[in-house]
Amino acid sequence: MSGAIAASHRPCKPPPSLLAPRRLALTTPLKSVALLLLAGAALFLYSQTAARSSVSSGAARPLYSPTVESVGGARAIWELPAAAPARAVLFIAHGCRCHPENFWPPSSRCPGCVGLPEDVAITVRALERRFAVLAVASARECWSLGREVSATKRAIRSWAAKNGLGGLPVVALGASSGGYFVSRLAAEMNLAAVVIMIAEGAFGSAGAPAAVYPPAMFVHMPKDRRRAALVERNSKMLMKSGVEVKELRSLELPLTPTLLSDRIPGLDRGLSEKIWTAFKDDGFIDEKGYMRDDGRATPWKDALVRRGLGEEVSQWAEHIQEELNLAYGYHEMTSLHADEMFDWIEKHLS
């Protein structure tokens, strides 16, 4: 590579297969071998770091043995917990331009997986708590709220029955476009709970959902004031209809020298510190370390390329982008409250 960092399309990116040729286009065979070795080392560090996190929590270690297949005609990735048997099913709906591959790290069973840190952290927590995890790709760039809802309902049920999970409670979690989608799915499918992340949900002009609606959790970022107001409106509407509602607010984080290495398994602490220094020197963060602008609007890639860090950062570009968006606290998948979220979910499984 010439040092340029691969273009990012966060909140999510195209399938990794579309980016791989561009990232591996090198000038010499020796350089190609070196980069392949580096990628292998990063994958090993990713799995080792995640394993240490799982062991330190005292929970069963996830095997990272996902299955990639078609479920109901849609591309899907799923995994059963290592500590059998599963106690519930967690269906995950990604956001616009996102993919199921974001929720698992690369492995021999899913070489196309991306493993974005916030997404994977949610998968890890779910597997540790004995949830069978199913992530399905939307038919188009974003989820639709018509026939796709009914098709997904059928897909979840058939997949659960096929894998001996038919009698288990089902929980749905969706972010952004996926949040709207699961809010509508909850009105058509018997769910134990629904988690609507960085979205206010889609309840239609009629207001309160028909029939029985499951307990609902809104996980949102109050810096997005417009969406926060809509979350408050819909929360009141649901509660007025007798629905249990829980709200979790994800606030902005200061960018510290080790925030990226702390939250991205496999990313070297030294690189994290170099990135922080560049952000500090270029004024991307204020005197307290907070991002001055959303990560998507910050020209951080150009700043790192100017410092000769382009190739070193390239393989982590999407991961870094996600954490910068999280730090700014406006619109991003978040695992910051994952334990509290799953504690709440588990109360509704019986």
Name the E strands within 55-175: 67-71, 74-79, 88-93, 131-136, 170-175
Query: In the chain, where does DSSP find H-type helix?
Result: 16-23, 29-56, 117-128, 147-162, 177-188, 225-240, 259-263, 269-281, 300-306, 310-314, 317-328, 338-346
Q: Which residues of 72-108 are buried (b: 16+ CB within 10 A; e: fewer)?
A: eeebbbbbbbbeeebbbbbbbbbbebbbbbbbbbbbe
| pTM (2 d.p.) | 0.84
pLDDT at 9: 39
Structure confidence at residue 5 (pLDDT): 63
> How many percent of the chain have pLDDT more than 70?
80
Burial class (CB in 10 A: 0-12, 13-18, 19+), 264: buried
Residue 195 pLDDT more than 90? Answer: yes
The band of 207, judged by pLDDT with boundaries at 50, 70 and 90, is low
The β-bridge partners of 7 are none
Looking up tokens 């990604």 gives 94
Q: Let me know if 231 is exposed, middle or buried by CB neighbors in 10 A (0-12, 13-18, 19+).
A: buried
Which amino acid appears at position 252 of this protein?
E
d(CA 339, CA 307): 38
Q: Output the pLDDT for position 206.
A: 54
Structure confidence at residue 12 as a pLDDT band (50, 70, 90): low
Identify whether the C-beta of residue 311 lies closer than 8 Å to the C-beta of residue 4. no
> What is the pLDDT at residue 304?
98
Asked whether the bond before 85 is cis by omega within 30 degrees of 0, the reply is: yes
What are the tens digits of pLDDT across the range 134-159?
Answer: 999 999 999 999 999 999 999 999 99
Range with the lowest mean pLDDT among 21-35, 61-75, 111-125, 254-268?
21-35
Let me know: does 321 contact 206? Beta carbons within 8 Å: no
Residue 5 has what DSSP assignment? P
Q: In this structure, what are the phi and psi dihedrals at residue 205, rounded to the nearest 5 degrees? A: -70, -20
2 pLDDT band, cuts 50/70/90, is: very low
Checking 292-298 for CB contacts under 8 A at 24+ apart, the result is 293/328, 294/325, 294/328, 294/330, 294/331, 295/10, 295/321, 295/322, 295/323, 295/324, 295/325, 295/327, 295/328, 296/8, 296/10, 296/11, 296/321, 296/325, 298/324
- Confidence band, pLDDT 50/70/90 cuts, at residue 211: low
41-77 pLDDT, tens digit per residue, is 444 444 444 443 443 333 434 457 999 999 999 999 9
